[in-house]
Every structure is written in structure tokens, then in C-alpha cells.
Structure 1
């Protein structure tokens, strides 16, 4: 991996988010970029040193433009978004403003100021009928969230800015902020508490360890990558199988896990059934190397000792 240069100045949007906090911590640890983090609310990252934090509503275009002009980034990593399928369906105008219009604004600001943009997208740009997918596979979202991300991708392309679009799948892992949960932490917590859980058995994904995704963002910065890249692990699991792996790793009671079908919880039509990615392009061009799901659980177990001490 090429070393980041001190001349690189990076803004992370959505820095209170799961990926945002992990990426912040990784870049601070490298100590090779000047870093500015921004989120709509006050900083929730327990690690507050080694970077500048600016509270900012990204809908405030003037404030966003002012921040960019004052910090003068060479790179922006745009992680902020509404990721809830349900909220995107229920509040289409809010979804459009945050997931499409803000991206279009940031892309234009990057183009006019020669800033490299890394944008986070999703496997939900696909309908899940023909997974796993490569970057050239036809997109066909089955929900408003996936549609908003696809339109944001197109806005970036149309802007002409230098940009890498990183699509990812079902991100999991652990960060210092205890309020951030995900499939692995949820399953582990419930099963440790001896609580019965219901898990979808007929949807398949290649889950993405948040550390791997943050590393992919750093590779995008280092290489000034352009184009679309698929970032995930490289083994397909049903959601049920992934949760059973969690139970097995931490020696928890699998009999507490009940399989349900997506249609039982209203997710048969608005969630893709089988996604998954072909990672060849990311491996060849970025040098991305995914961590296996089982290996990542071992790392997470070690990180628990650090983050929850």
C-alpha cells in the first residue's frame, strides 16, 4: 500500500456514522493526512484527537462550500446518507435531498475545485435476481434507497469530477461508539442474553467488514481511483447462515435462532434476494484484499477487548 502523503487533506462527511468513525480512526492512526470530519450532529466519536471536527448540515450548501474553501481538501469521502429502506420509502423528498441532491452538489464542488471524491454506494442498486454482480452488471433497484444511490452515482458521473464509487454490502464490525450496531453485534448481544431471534433465511449477501471498507476508502484516496468498484467479502451467506456463524464463533446457543422468510416481514419485494459482488476489479486496480467472515470475527473479538474495556 502506497503511503499517504502529508500534503493530502481529507474531508469525511457523515463522520458520526459507522464507516465514518472507523475511517476517521484509521486515518488518524496513519498520521499521514490532514483530516476534517463533519456530521449533522455533535461529534459522537469517543476518539476526538488528531483531526478537526465541524458540525454541519449538508443541506446548507453555503456552509458546505465555505467549509471546503476554508479547509481546501484534496479528497472528500462522502459517507453521509439515509440508508434506511423504510425511511427512503416513507419520506421520498428527504431521501431525494440527502441521497441525491447533496451528492450532486458535492460532485460539482469537487469538479470546480479539482478535488477527488470517494462515494459510498450499495448492492441495492441491483434487483438481486442475478447475483453476484460485477461493476458492469445492469442496475435495477427494487426500492427507493437503491434508486437514490443509483441516481447519485449518475449525478457524480455527469458532473465530470474525479471520483471513485465504492459499492458495498451489509457492513458489520465494531467501533468505539457503543450506539452503533449491525448484524454481527446485534446477533451476538441477543444470543449472549439468551434471547430468541428471528433471522431471514432466503436472502443472500457477501457481508462487508467495516475495517475492510475503510481500507478500501484509503486505497481510493491513495490511488486517486476513478470509476465504480465493488467492495465486500468474497463468500456468499444467507442472513441466517451469517448469524449461525456468529453463534458458532462465540459458542452461543443456535437453538435460539429461528429462520423466517423475507415475505413474513414484508421484505420480499423491497429487498434484493441475492446480491454479492465479483471483486476482480477492486483486487486488480485497488489492491483490495477482503478478510473472510470468520477471520473478521476473530479480529472483532480482539477489538471488543479494546473498545469495551
Structure 2
């Protein structure tokens, strides 16, 4: 069994990816501040910002493949803390990929739909990045540097993701569910359009990209949907109270970082390779039991 190194294993996507990969790989995952247990996974505490510690990690694990997830993905925090987030989202990413490039280790880097300005959807891999917030800008910078350093790396632009989450973290889904259950007000944008997938589907897409992709690939879902309409669907499938749901517009909510209106991803290239996301309704149905508590 070959060895897979997953950075950011204690995060939402990393926790799900490790579980999906475990049957076929010997998985090592890194964490920094949140030590969790994942059955069958070896977790190592590593500060990836320390280049020597990063090199020691590669020497210890001797990975056959790497999926780099560790990042500062909070859009507002990236906007407010540009230096610290640049270190994680650009410098660390380039260091990880550089350590893969020299020995030719297959590598996946996760980027984001936020590299686009949202004015000309749906976006294909050939469309030039046009970010309007620092998070998207940092990911676009990392993409370009990685393609230059290691063209064989797979760069997966990820959409909005939802699903079950490890202790101490959430997807956007859990706070939405809690708010609706308590019948408090939940304002969701009608003018922010995405192509969401579950974290399990995302994990399968990343493993597919590891095997079949070099360069850019989009791993979005098959449906374009607003956050508000996602909320309505969530209420229907999960039998939640609808009393608190309110439609809102981006212009009405003050946020640190601007949000692009429509970053729908055209993922037809991934679909042609076998990436086959279920419908959002099907994904939510499959998550019902895991989201009940």
C-alpha cells in the first residue's frame, strides 16, 4: 500500500479526505493546533511554516503522493491579515509543491472558485483569474507559481463545500442548521451563486485528480444555486423550521472581504474523467443521519 501525505488533515476537507482515502492508501495527515483522532490515520503535529520541519516531514513520511489542503481559507481573515495568510496560502504551498517537484512526487494543490470576479460565469479552466478579494488573489498567485515550478501538479479549484465535520470545526452547513432549529433569523444571499458539492464528493474528486490530472481542473457540482435556494432545499430535505430564513443581498451586508456574485464552475473536464457529483438533494439525503445531532 502506497503512502499518501495529507496536509491540514484536522480541517473540514482534510478530515473527510483522510477517511475516503484510508481504504486504498497508508495515510499520514498533518495538524497544528487541533489534534483529532481519525481511525487508521497517522496524524503528525507539524508547523508547515517552518521549512526545516516541512523537509523533516517529507524525510520521515517518504510519501508516494501528496494532497496539500492546509491553508487560511477564511475569506475575511485573509482580507484582515494579509501577511499571515499569504505565508500559509502562498509560501507554504510553494514549499510543499517544491518538495514534490524535485523527486517527481504526484501532488494535488487545492485552489478556489474565488480566483474569479463572478461577472462572467460559468468559469472554465482556460478563463484568466480575476480575484476581487485577498483569498482569491493569494490562491491565484500560488496557482501560477506552482504551474511554473511543477507543471505536473494537479491544481483543483474547489467550490463551496458542505458535509459532516470533525469536532471543533464546521462547514457552513452546521451553523445554518443550528440557527434554523432555534428559529432564529438566517439571512442568505440570493445573489451569490455557486456550484456546491459535499466534502465526500470533493475528496473523491481530489483522489481522481491525483491519478489523472496535471495542471488546472475544476471540481464543482452540476447545479448552480444561490445560498438562499440552498437554504430552502436544506430545510426541505432535513425537515427544518423555515420561519427564520430570510433573503438577503450582498450589498446589504457589510463584510471585510468583497464576494464575487457568481463563481459557478464549469467542471465538464472533470466530468469527462469520471468525476460524477450527485445532486445537492441526493448529497443532503445521504448526510441526514450524520447531521441529525
TM score, norm. by length of structure 2:
0.95
Structure 2: give runs of 5+ residues left out of the alignment: none
Report matched runs for 1:222-261 at 5 Å: 222-223=211-212, 225-261=213-249
**Mapped partners of 1:233, 1:19: distance in 2:** 16
1:181: which partner in 2? 170
**Mapped partners of 2:56, 2:137: distance in 1:** 30
Give the secondary-structure state (helix, strand or coil) at the position aligned to 1:255: coil
The yes-or-no answer on 1:190 pairing with 2:153 is: no
Contact 1:42 1:55 in 2 (8 A): no
Give the secondary-structure state (helix, strand or coil) at the position aligned to 2:154: strand
1:118: which partner in 2? 108
**Mapped partners of 2:118, 2:40: distance in 1:** 41
TM score, norm. by length of structure 1:
0.90
2:49: which partner in 1? 59
Q: Following TM superposition, by how much is the alpha carbon of 1:161 offset from its aligned partner in structure 2, in angstroms? A: 5.2
**Mapped partners of 2:75, 2:256: distance in 1:** 13
Q: Following TM superposition, by how much is the alpha carbon of 1:266 offset from its aligned partner in structure 2, in angstroms? A: 2.4
Report matched runs for 1:74-85 at 5 Å: 74-85=64-75
Give the secondary-structure state (helix, strand or coil) at the position aligned to 1:138: coil
**Mapped partners of 1:240, 1:141: distance in 2:** 23
1:108: which partner in 2? 98
The C-alpha deviation readout for 1:45-76, integer Å capped at 9, x for no partner, is x42x3122110010110011011012111111
Q: Following TM superposition, by how much is the alpha carbon of 1:182 offset from its aligned partner in structure 2, in angstroms? A: 2.4
Contact 1:262 1:268 in 2 (8 A): no
1:137: which partner in 2? 127
2:281: which partner in 1? 294
**Mapped partners of 2:168, 2:7: distance in 1:** 19
**Mapped partners of 2:163, 2:148: distance in 1:** 34
1:146: which partner in 2? 136
Q: What is the aligned counterpart of 1:280 among 254, 264, 268? A: 268
Q: Following TM superposition, by how much is the alpha carbon of 1:157 offset from its aligned partner in structure 2, in angstroms? A: 0.6
Count of residue correspondences:
293
2:18: which partner in 1? 24
Contact 2:134 2:257 in 1 (8 A): no
Give the secondary-structure state (helix, strand or coil) at the position aligned to 2:188: strand
The yes-or-no answer on 1:221 pairing with 2:210 is: yes
